[in-house]
Structures are given as structure tokens and as C-alpha cells.
A and B are shown apart, each in its own frame.
Chain A
């Protein structure tokens, strides 16, 4: 074009049209993403999905090769959010009580009786490394409490802190002596990311110490827990039209009908897509979900549900992306 058009002739006045709350969420998301990008090199998409999952009130599964920064991603998210943070390493002899906490004698056993000592899940952000190395018993206990935000020990329920987010990592290749997650367990995670290897430039930055774990200490919380809770409430109120919801259903149908998919995603998969899409919309300062938000949300929300317990998440991502490209999104 010879002449530039007048700057943004269509941009509506933000104050009059966009919701202020959504705008605040967008600002919060931008801070979180910026803080994480400063540490995690070259993984902007993954960082966005992580933040969207946080805002959508879901739990995140990170699956990839060792050494690509799975744990770092979880840790930097926890630090940027602030609040309490615990990390659990999955092993085959880890027992449910080890993570939920257990009743221990308090002072003199006959006088004070038993008291509940909270386990490591009592934190705002819980990172569970190598989830598939824990026994199914531990896994299911963890996922139950993550779903219900409550820990029940000895008949007494203990509320988990709010906000609460579980970030689990697992390694798809080193599977000797592991317990693969079943479909039901995978379904609990709202989204899954596979960071993949960093680019050459990013690796240079990590090796020279400009990014990566060495910068973790420098990350300061960019938000407060109350602000995060408020943002989560705003995200939950982002509006979605019937046309977009129907599009989500079509996407689910497309994946269910794909010959490579053994068990299609459940309705909870659709709920996960919508929740993530709401978060993506809020991250852009909108209070309504567009088709593009659904497109962005569907692959992280569907990859592990499509893959099931028999295939890797990476393969599931490909199938999900293909199914998304097969369905025409709604327009005006």
C-alpha cells in the first residue's frame, strides 16, 4: 500500500465497549506471561496455555522429554503467582498419606490425641514431578483431591487453599517402571502442554545463564492471591454464544469420529475447551469467546483426551489439530 491507513480506524474505544474487568485480567495475564517468558526461553505458546489454565481454574499436565524445562515451567509459574508452593517427586513407594498428610501423635498421645499434619498438597501451587512413577493408588488419591479441593483424613475434611493448582509432569519415553495414567485420570487435567526442545537461540540464552533456572531466583510475584481469585471469577463470566458452543460440540464429534481415536473425549473435554477459551478471551481483554479462542484452546484441551492411555500426547496433539482443521469455524 502506498499510504498508511489512519491508525486503527476501526478500533473501538476501550472504555466504552470492552469490559474493564476483562481488561484487568488481560493486564494480569500479560504480567504473568512476561514474568514467565523472562525465564522460560522460547516457549511463549506453552506459557500462554499455562497461564490460561491457571486463570481457568484447571490443572495442567506437562509431558515431554527430560531436560526441556518441565519442572522449571511449573516452578516459575508458582513463583510468579506468589502464594505457597510445594513440589512432590513421584516414586513408586510414595503413598497417598505422604501427599495428603496424615494423623500424627500430638504431644502426649493419651492427652492430646492425634492431630492432622497437612501434607505437601496444602499449597497454592503444587508441582508433582513424574506423576506416572507414582502408583495408581497415589495417583488416584492426588487427582481426587485435586478435583474436589478437599482432603479427607480420618473422617475429617480439610479444605485445600484457594487458589489451588496442580501441575503434573511426566516423561513419555522413559517408561520402565511407571504406571501410565488411565483415561479417567487424564480427563482431570484441563490442559496438556508439550514444551518441546528449545530453539538454538534460546538454548544459547539458557547456557549463558541469561535465562533458565539461574533466573528463577529473580522472579518476583507479579500478583496477589486475591487478585488471582478475582481474575478467575471474571474469566468464569466471559460470555459464549450458542454458535461457538455448537462449534465446540462439532470439534468433539470430529475427534470422536476419527478412526485413530479409540475413546473420544468426554463432555468434560468440551467443558475444558470452553473454560480455556474463556481464559484466552480474557487474556485478550475480551468478555466474549470467539471461534479463534476455541481453536487455540482445543488442541491443549483435547490432546491427552484424544491420545488416551495408549498413545503419546504428541500424537494426540497431531490428531486433535487435524480434527480442528477439518471443522469450519462459525462466522457471522
Chain B
């Protein structure tokens, strides 16, 4: 048994290393919840950018977990050295050497793997390697040979915490109980040696050489009267017999006998008492007496006894589920740095601007919100500096404001008119108020993370609502601010002093690159969402003036046009209906109309389709006329659209649901556009479901109208069409059957149709009808030209197009194909509407322009229903469209945006660069103002001192030595100068003297000459240090 004090540092053995996840930082749960909410928003709206945000957050979490795990694994405790003897619950200094601490964390030391047995919990400062002094308080007496070390670290965002455990052998630390209780029974005997020898042992406080204080039982004759008179107390001659008493404690018998928790404490008290009295003290272990010379020996024997007793009555281990649950803050600090706070504020502002833009509110609202957010950041930063408690008054004010707002909104709510009304009405107002108010109480990391999560939800919500072009840019701005604030939140307020090397920067750049690639990879496998889910089918119509004759077709200004009224020879005269004749009751094939390029509507749909407006079956050789049957009026908001003739598809034909939401941007007639074949329309108003498959509303579609259509599309492929053979023969038989005459309108040829038209159609026939159509389209493509300025036909429009002018536009081409098919007994009709338009890849919305107005052919295939064919442009068959992925879309959008905004982006980059340069200049200027020119020189000189403190080698010495590392900022200038060797030493000493004079000599007068010389001297030192 070692009794001499010595640092036990040569026995370090590391074993049982494990790394486990520990938990989430406070507030991280809010981010998880925000992610789930964003998932619901993505499901409801089908916005690709929301999915991209979710993927980015997911990858962030993954990076956080991976980086935290690797850091926690690498960080390790190298050795622990402790004093050989300590007392229960008293502070014992442990020297802990840790290596590769890359990130700020927490160090826990315990005697068993459970947190209840912690003897020390300390903050682990970041630094390459470190020796730190930890003050441990052992709870239980006994001999400790192994310490369980737990290092708790989080990733770069400070969200996910990891725990790295290891067991470290620390030699032997004897934890003695506090001496207490009654004395144990001792065997008393008289030692042989002289009292003088015994008297030098132990602690004889109060005894005097040769004399000592009076004790009970001393003889009166032994009083030393001169001393007694001088001191004022009874002093006796020290007697050899008293000092030479020998106390032996029988430890064997003690442990074998009845023991309790206090036995070890009583042993220590007994041994100490014996030593205090100057006796010759010993313990009997294994039959042999072992001398106890110092109080350290007494403590060690008490510790030994305590562990021997504990071994006998070791309590069974408590299973983890029976242990009491303990919650503790994982982060060692909760302070929020101003940069993180400002970045979060910027993210909140960007998300609210997105939301305001989605609701097309005023700029004044944005200004108010921005002012509120800035005020919130300033107030909360100020509060956070003072303390991390939120003042009660502020909380009360916030709660009251929210309650008042809720009451106002509840009073204002006029019943719930549909989801969109709620989504656009009270909910965003409440959200904005909440975000701005919450900004005021963000004083610690938990609330900051909640704030960030709220901005994530708001941004997703706004991205789901917003359909304009600016979405991508605002989302990008929000994303930069959001992830910056996320990263800044996890950082310590005060980073380590010192220069940043190239390697950490490269490492973080590699992480960022890997995260970006990971996000894109994840997105590249996520398909474009299937459009809005049925839960989120919005409908809204601001105009409620019904069209005058029920079921009639109205122009956008609400006036109904009598059919066939204004068909003249002047091309373009029929302007009122968005400049397109296809949206009137009679379509003159010679008129293309005057089409602008403005956006007519935006359609949110996962895949392109024809947005069909009307169908025509009656043709007089030049003009198509809409059937007069207005159909049935059905009341909204949810309208089931019955199938019309030719809509039924056969059994075993795959169909798919295509949900489209139409956002009307310019005034449209009361035609309700829908992709074929609509089954359900969500419309704020009533609809006429017409037998020709078209839909008309009671009111005109004013700008701001929103409605949703669910269509049942046949996933048709070329083989399916081709497999239906020659339809002419099929329908010839069908007509003979009962009720077959209903297809007659689709087979009727105008009287003006020429024989050469029919001959051409007959000659071009090729097997199945599908191949015939392809052959017609090919012939038309080869022999005619698309020309918007085609001459007005003189007689039959089809004949004129085919054989005379051979130039025409879509209406003429489509009419021609229809007539050619009808001539072969194939039912066909003309459809007008819009082609899908251009897809905005960020919001996943189709932008439909006026020039996208179009006419095409619909052919009745008996098994798959009406099938659109477009001889002018090619739109893929429904079953052959290939939905893209979110990643591909976004990448394409980013590439095209960058390509089309090169100048602006370059300007922004230049502005950012200029801002950065300016801010660094300002920082330098402020630093210079704060530190002064001498201060800056002092900093340069301080930076020259060896940045890594060198510790003395922990060689065993007489007594435990715990050198504390001295960071460079604890050096004085002469100490720094002493680090220089050779020729630099003299120069450094001069610099140190000068700097000290500037700092401390009240009589110092600033001198440019001395400053210049000192500066050049520092520069010389810097050069030689390199």
C-alpha cells in the first residue's frame, strides 16, 4: 500500500469505448415538428420547393449526426491523474488530459457508468489538446481505480448530442469517509520504544517538547508549574508512558463482524484520534499489524475498509427502466450570439415577405413586419445579454396580444368558406403576428431554435401558397439566412483565440459540398409530387355577378354574345374573349384572333395536359358551333361531373388521377377549364355540366379566381390505341345497334366537303386508326405549313387548306384532321383551350399565356374514350409521360435562372463582395479605434508568443503537481519576450519594455518615432518567427 503522496499517472489504461447518441438540444424538437408540418404542406400543395426544403433540412440533420458522431469518436480522454487520498464530498483536483477536442462539449467523470455517480461535470473547451484541472467530489468512500469518462458533444449545428464513453484506469484514489461517530474498540498495549520517538509521529498540535497540556488521569505531581503559570492552563511533564501507548485496531475482526455504513468513518476517527494523542497506532490485517503513521494512512485504511464492506454488501444493479428519469440541459450554455440572432431575424423576415407576397398584401405591411422583427431582434439581444430569463411583463404582453388577436379574428370570421379562405384569411395574419411577437422573447438557444422552426413552417406555408416567379429567389434568400442562423446557433459565443488554419476551412467546405451533393442526390430520386391532395383543394371566386341567360357563354366583362352574331371577314375583330375565337360559341376557322403574351392563368398540376375549355362537333365548312344544350346546373363547392358520351373507358384500362388547381390571372369568360376527363370540380359557385363535356360557370372568372379540378386520365399508350384496330368498322357496327345514332354528330360532314378531301383521307389510311392518324399528321406536316397569316379561305376551309393555300394555323389544321377522320367513319370533334404552358420548376406551377390558346382534335376510341390529338404541336400521351424529379427540375430551374439573370447575379455577387470588404474594413477600423495603434501592435506581439502552451512533463515528484495550462493571453510582455531565443531575444525584450511603458507608465507621451521603430521591430520578429 502506497502511502506517500504521488500523482498516479503511469497506469492509464483506456477500455470499453462506446459512442452513442445522447439526445437533442433544447428546441431541436421544434425543427423536427416543423419538418413534419412541412411534409403536410407538401402533401397538401404538391410544391416541389417545399420538398426541396425538407430534403435540405433532412440532409442537415444527417450531416449534424454524422459530424457529431465522428467528432465524439475522435475526442478522447488520454489520462487522468488524481491525488492518492481524498475525502468524501471534498474537492479533489484531477488532472485530465484530453486530445483532439474539436468542439465545445462537456466532460463527465463518474465512478460507475451511471449519471448518479458523477464525481465531476465540467465544460470541455475546444482546442487541439488540453490538460485541464477538474475538481471532483467523490460521493462514496472506497478505493477508486477506474473512472468512467463521458464526453458529450454535438455536431456543428449543436442539435444532436453524442456521448463517448470510456473507462480510464487512474491508479488508486482512496476516498476516505469523514471521520465520525464513536471510537472503535482498540487493543491498547505499551510500546517498547521511548516516548520521544512516538512523540514525533502524528499531529501533536498543542503539545510542547517535554511538557504537554493536562489530560484526565494525569498525576498532580507531574504539573509543570512555571509553564502552567505562564500559559494560564495546566501543563504537565510529558511522560514516556503516555506517549508510548500502542493502539491496534483489528481490521480482520471488524470486517468479519457486524458492519454498517458508519464503520469506515468510525475507523478513520479512531485512527486519527490515536495519532492526535501521539500513540503508536496500527491496524491488524491478515493477522499482521501494519503501522499507521500519518493521517493519510488513516484515510487510506478507512477507504480500504469502506470498499471491503461495500464488496460484501454490494447492492444489486438497478435496471435502467427502474431508475428515476432525469432531464438535464444538454448544452453547457444557452446564450445566443448576436450573429445567430440577426440571421434568424433575416430568415423570419424572408419567410414573412414570402407569405405577404403570396397573399398580395401591401408593401406597408412588409415594412411594418420588418420594423417589428428588427425591434424584436434588438430587444431580445439586449435581454439575452442581461440574463437568459424572459421578463414576465414581456411574456404577459405577448400572451395578451395573442389573445386579443385571436378574439378579433374569431369575431371577424364569417363562417369557414372553404380551406383556402382560412389559409388566406385569418391564419396568415395570426402567423405573422406570432412570428413577430415571438421574435421579442428569443433570448436563449431553445427559443431561437423554436423561432427558426417557425420560420421554416412559414416559409413552407408561403411556398405552398405562392405561385409567382419570385418564389425561388425569396426561398433562396430565406434558405441562406435559415441555415446560417442554424449553424451560428450551435457555435460558442466566444470562439477560441488564435488563427484559423486552412485545414478546418477545407474540412467545413468539404462538409458543405457533401451536404449539397447529398441534398441533390436525395432530390434526384424524389418524383415531382402528384399535385395537390384532395384535402387541399382550394376554390375562390371573387366575382359573384351571375351571367344573364343561365348557362350562356359570357365574355370576360360579363356580357353574353349572341351566337354567330359578329362573325365577319375582318381577322381579329373578335377580340373580346381574350382575343381568341375558340372561347366563343362559334369558332371561325379563318380567324386566329389577337393573342397577347400576358399570363392568363397559372395551373398547379404535376404533369402537362391540355386545359380544355370547349368542344365543338357542328361544322359548316368554315365555322364550328357549340351545341346549344347547356346541360345541368350543379351547385358547388364540390361538384361531381357526370361522364358525357364517349367518356367511358373500358374495364382493365388504367387510369390516373390528375389534380389541377387553376389560379386565374386575367379576366376570362365563364368557361371552366379542365384537363380531360374531369370527374370532380371544387368551385366557389355553380357550374353547368354540359353534355359536350365542357363546363361553364354561373359567373365569369375574374382575376383571383381559384378552382380545382380532379380529372381521371386514362393512362393511354400507343399500343393501347393501336390495339383497337380500325375504328371505322367498329363504329359502322355500333351505329346499327340500338342507340348508336348518338354518335352521328361526331361523324357528320359539312355539305361543302369536297371529294378530293375524302379521297386523300381514304388513300392515306394505314391499318389501325391510330396509325392512320399518325399518317395524316405526317402528311400534313410534310405538305402544309404553319402560318398565322394564312389567307382567308374562299370556300370550304378544309379543301382550301389541303389543296389551295396549304398554309394555316391550328384551328384549320385541327379542323382538317377532324373532317378527314369523320370521312372515314371515325367519330372526332374539335376541342379548344390552352396547352399546358411553361412550367415554373420551383413552385411546380404551369404558367399559361394568352398565346397558349389552342385548338386540337379529340378522337373517340371506344375502349379508352376521347383521345386528344394535336397535329400542330405534340403533347405526349398520358401513359407515356414521365414525371421528372424534384432535383432535376430545381437544377434546371437554377441553371436557367442563373443563365437568364447573369448580370443581376453578378451585381448581387459584387454587392455582397463589396459588403464583405466594407464590413471587414469597418471591423478593422473599429478594432483600431478600440485598441489604438499601440493596442494593435500589442496584439501582434501577443500573437507571436507560442500559441500552444507547453506543459511540464508530468514526472513524479515529491507531491502531486497539477500544472494548469497557461494560455497565451495570460502571459505578460516580458514573459512573452522570454520565449524568444538568440538574436530575437534582445529585440523582443525591447519591444516588451516599450509596450509596457505605453500601457502602464502614466508619464508616457506618444511618440511617432518610437512607434515606427517598435512596429518595424515587431515586423522583424514576425518575419523571423515565420
Question: What is the CA–CA distance of A332 and B997 in the complex, to the nearest angstrom?
Answer: 9
Of the candidate stretches A9-17, A41-49, A229-237, the one touching chain B is: A9-17
Find out whether the CB atom of B230 lies under 8 angstroms from the CB atom of A135.
yes
A163-187 CB contacts (< 8 Å) to partner B: 175-177, 180
Is B1014 in contact with chain A by the CB < 8 A criterion?
A: yes
Q: A259-B135, A288-B1001 are in contact. Are A176 and B969 (CB under 8 A)?
A: no
Find out whether the CB atom of B990 lies under 8 angstroms from the CB atom of A8.
yes
Least distance between A180 CB and chain B CB atoms (Å):
7
Is A289 in contact with chain B by the CB < 8 A criterion?
A: yes
Find out whether the CB atom of A332 lies under 8 angstroms from the CB atom of B1010.
no
Interface majority SS on A: helix, strand, loop or mixed?
A: loop
Which residues of A are found within 8 Å of B207, using beta-carbon distances?
176-177
A306-323 CB contacts (< 8 Å) to partner B: 314-315, 318, 322
Is B208 in contact with chain A by the CB < 8 A criterion?
A: yes
Interface majority SS on B: helix, strand, loop or mixed?
A: helix
Find out whether the CB atom of A10 lies under 8 angstroms from the CB atom of B200.
no
Is A208 in contact with chain B by the CB < 8 A criterion?
A: no
Question: What is the CA–CA distance of A327 and B205 in the complex, to the nearest angstrom?
Answer: 37
Is B935 in contact with chain A by the CB < 8 A criterion?
A: yes
Is B970 in contact with chain A by the CB < 8 A criterion?
A: yes
Is A109 in contact with chain B by the CB < 8 A criterion?
A: no
Q: A176-B207, A332-B932 are in contact. Are A9 and B1017 (CB under 8 A)?
A: yes
Which residues of B are found within 8 Å of A331, using beta-carbon distances?
935, 938, 942, 973, 995, 999
Find out whether the CB atom of A260 lies under 8 angstroms from the CB atom of B91.
yes
Least distance between A83 CB and chain B CB atoms (Å):
33
Is B231 in contact with chain A by the CB < 8 A criterion?
A: yes
Which residues of B are found within 8 Å of A287, using beta-carbon distances?
1001, 1003
Which residues of B are found within 8 Å of A260, using beta-carbon distances?
91, 93
Find out whether the CB atom of A5 lies under 8 angstroms from the CB atom of B1001.
no
B669-713 CB contacts (< 8 Å) to partner A: none
Which residues of B are found within 8 Å of A1, using beta-carbon distances?
982-984, 1020, 1023-1024
Which residues of B are found within 8 Å of A244, using beta-carbon distances?
1000
Which residues of B are found within 8 Å of A314, using beta-carbon distances?
959
Is A157 in contact with chain B by the CB < 8 A criterion?
A: no
Which residues of A are found within 8 Å of B959, using beta-carbon distances?
314-315
Is A118 in contact with chain B by the CB < 8 A criterion?
A: no
Question: What is the CA–CA distance of A4 and B209 in the complex, to the nearest angstrom?
Answer: 65
Closest to B937 in A: A332
Is A108 in contact with chain B by the CB < 8 A criterion?
A: no
Instruction: Select one of A177, A180, A239 contacting B209, CB under 8 A.
Output: A177
Is B986 in contact with chain A by the CB < 8 A criterion?
A: yes
Find out whether the CB atom of B205 lies under 8 angstroms from the CB atom of A180.
yes
Find out whether the CB atom of B990 lies under 8 angstroms from the CB atom of A9.
yes
Question: What is the CA–CA distance of A95 and B226 in the complex, to the nearest angstrom?
Answer: 12
Find out whether the CB atom of A292 lies under 8 angstroms from the CB atom of B1003.
no
Question: What is the CA–CA distance of A2 and B410 in the complex, to the nearest angstrom?
Answer: 83
Question: What is the CA–CA distance of A4 and B986 in the complex, to the nearest angstrom?
Answer: 10
Q: A1-B982, A5-B1017, A241-B1000 are in contact. Are A332 and B935 (CB under 8 A)?
A: yes
Closest to B986 in A: A8
Q: A135-B231, A176-B207, A177-B207 are in contact. Are A9 and B1000 (CB under 8 A)?
A: no
Least distance between A178 CB and chain B CB atoms (Å):
9
Q: A176-B200, A331-B942 are in contact. Are A292 and B1013 (CB under 8 A)?
A: no
Closest to B960 in A: A318
Question: What is the CA–CA distance of A264 and B427 in the complex, to the nearest angstrom?
Answer: 62
Is A201 in contact with chain B by the CB < 8 A criterion?
A: no
Which residues of B are found within 8 Å of A175, using beta-carbon distances?
203-204
Find out whether the CB atom of B208 lies under 8 angstroms from the CB atom of A288.
no
Binary CB contact string for chain B from 59 to 93 against chain A (1 if under 8 A, 0 otherwise): 00000000000000000000000000000000101
Which chain A residues have a beta carbon within 8 Å of chain B's beta carbons?
A: 1, 4-5, 8-12, 17, 92-93, 95, 135, 137, 175-177, 180, 239, 241, 243-244, 259-260, 286-292, 295, 314-315, 318, 322, 325-332
Which chain B residues have a beta carbon within 8 Å of chain A's beta carbons?
A: 91, 93, 133, 135, 199-200, 203-205, 207-211, 226-227, 230-231, 931-932, 934-935, 937-938, 942, 959, 961-962, 964, 966, 969-975, 982-984, 986-987, 990-991, 993-1003, 1010, 1013-1014, 1016-1017, 1020, 1023-1024
Further pairs besides A325-B970, A328-B970, A331-B973: 19, Cβ < 8 Å:
A5-B983, A5-B987, A9-B987, A10-B1014, A10-B1017, A17-B997, A176-B204, A177-B208, A239-B1002, A241-B1000, A243-B999, A288-B1001, A288-B1002, A290-B973, A292-B996, A329-B970, A331-B995, A331-B999, A332-B999
| Cβ contacts A to B, 7 pairs, < 8 Å | A1-B1024, A5-B1020, A93-B227, A135-B231, A244-B1000, A291-B973, A322-B964
